[in-house]
Structure 1
Amino acid sequence: MKSLFQTDKDVASVVGQLLRVGVVTSSVIALIGGIIYLFAHGADTPHYTEFIGAPKNLRHINGIIDGLLVLDAKAIIQTGILVLIATPILRVLLSAIAFAIEKDYLYVVITLIVLSIIAIGMFGGLAG
């Protein structure tokens, strides 16, 4: 049976393509959100005396999805950021799958450990 990846270059090519697509996609999404935001708020006067972070509804996936349904510019920008964050995580996951296909189990274990560390950092961190 032939392997999906004939050489290490095939794996590197697929991973590289994933990274390029992820970065370009996130950039396009954020750009669209930025353009919509500028049309809605471009004439507003910024208040530089205080920092106001992302609204509470855009700090969670459900709020971002709700914002996307009404084409909220900030939610679209947040989606671009989420796609950018997800890109290297998908790269690690793709690498684990590629190593499993190649039956390189030591690297599968190492890659899954890296993925676990990322997941613990994202979901097990201190809420603040």
Structure 2
Amino acid sequence: MGRLLQVGVLLASFVMLIGGFLYVRAHHDGVPDYRVFKTEPQTLRHVGGVITGVAAGDPAAIIQLAVLLLIATPVARVVFALIAFGIERDKLYVGVSALVLAVLLFGFLRSQ
């Protein structure tokens, strides 16, 4: 399980570096105006929009994908634990893992 977390964080970091490099390369000549707050585009607020942006090569979408990967890493750990405890037939920890996964999914789906 520890290796799963390490790989997830390293993958997210690698994707973030690529997105950051592409973003800086695309916007190196612009001067930011910090007096005006600019929010993320509406398309980057949903997974489908992020995937579409990554397919188009949008650097901001690649950075957003890295954030999604970082969020998905502990969720994948809970799923992995649920499967592992199911294989071991440990009903208590299967129940606890299922409850934790349900809370995570409820929080994710509620924010959509």
State if a TM-score over 0.5 links the two structures.
yes
Aligned length: 112
Which deviates more, 45-54 or 72-81?
A: 45-54
Normalised by the length of structure 1, the TM-score is 0.84
1:108 and 2:94 correspond:
yes
2:60 equivalent in structure 1: 74
2:36 equivalent in structure 1: 50
Q: Relative to total residues, which structure has the larger helix share, 1 or 2? A: 2
> Of residues 23, 32, 37 in structure 2, which corresponds to 1:37?
23
Write the distance in 2 (CA, Å) between the matches of 1:70 and 1:124.
28
Report the structure number with the largest CA radius of gyration.
Answer: 1
SS of alignment partner, residue 45 of structure 1: coil
2:74 equivalent in structure 1: 88
Deviations along 1:64-120, one digit per CA (max 9) or x if unpaired, are 111111110001001100000000000011011111111101110111001001111
> Of residues 100, 103, 106 in structure 2, which corresponds to 1:117?
103
Runs ≥4 residues deviating over 6 A? none
Query: Unaligned 5+ residue runs, structure 2?
Result: none
**What's the Cα RMSD here?**
1.0
In the TM superposition, residue 26 of structure 1 has moved relative to its aligned partner by 0.3
SS of alignment partner, residue 96 of structure 1: helix
Normalised by the length of structure 2, the TM-score is 0.95
Identity of aligned residues (%): 44
In the TM superposition, residue 53 of structure 1 has moved relative to its aligned partner by 2.2
Write the distance in 2 (CA, Å) between the matches of 1:95 and 1:84.
18
